[in-house]
């Protein structure tokens, strides 16, 4: 059997941290999970984050693969912001990361991303 690859949005990781939601995706050894650099920034910049929470977030992220913001991601981000002006900056970075890696996106914020026609959104499965 092959490996499934997907990119997760920040909200998915928050739901996993808070209530172990999305285990079907995140704990499946057949899945290779990616996240955008903006997701890491959003998770670690939470107001009042304790050192223990920071360590737990970093430990979780080490299980997955980081998509860095390089020139290609920056170019795709710019294209998306031009073509889809309603797309927020963070969402455009996440979408650019998914598109450049040809990864489907798992997010609870489907309405934010559904404007991006070429982006594949995964179904949010009940836990």
User: Could you read off the pLDDT of 47-92 as tens digits, one per residue?
Assistant: 999 999 999 999 999 999 999 999 999 999 999 999 999 999 999 9
User: What is the predicted pLDDT for the residue at 126?
Assistant: 64
Does 64 reside within a domain? yes
Q: What pTM does this model have?
A: 0.92
Q: Cα 71 to the chain's mean position, in Å?
A: 19
Higher-confidence residue of 2 and 19: namely 19
Residue 98, pLDDT above cutoff 70: yes
Segments forming the whole domain that contains residue 90: 4-113
**CATH code of the domain in which 26 resides:** 3.40.50.1010
pLDDT at residue number 1: 46
Residue 102 within any structural domain of the chain: yes
Question: Cα separation of 9 and 92, whole Å?
Answer: 11
Asked whether the beta carbons of 86 and 115 are under 8 A apart, the reply is: yes
Residues in the chain: 127
58 found inside a domain: yes
Domain count, the chain: 1
Report if residue 124 sits inside a domain: no
**Domain presence at residue 127:** no
Residue 126 lies in a domain: no
Asked if residue 122 is part of any domain, the answer here is: no
């Amino acid at each position: 059997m092959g490996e499934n690859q997907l990119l997760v949005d920040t909200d998915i990781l928050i739901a996993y941290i808070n209530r172990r939601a999305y285990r079907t995706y995140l704990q499946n050894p057949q899945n290779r999970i990616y996240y955008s650099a903006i997701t890491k920034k959003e998770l670690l910049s939470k107001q009042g984050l304790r050192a223990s929470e920071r360590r737990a977030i970093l430990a979780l992220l080490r299980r997955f693969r980081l998509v860095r913001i390089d020139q290609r991601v920056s170019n795709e981000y710019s294209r998306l912001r031009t073509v889809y002006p309603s797309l927020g900056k963070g969402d455009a970075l996440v979408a650019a990361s998914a598109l450049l890696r040809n990864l489907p996106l798992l997010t609870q914020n489907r309405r934010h991303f559904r404007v991006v026609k070429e982006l594949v959104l995964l179904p949010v499965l009940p836990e």
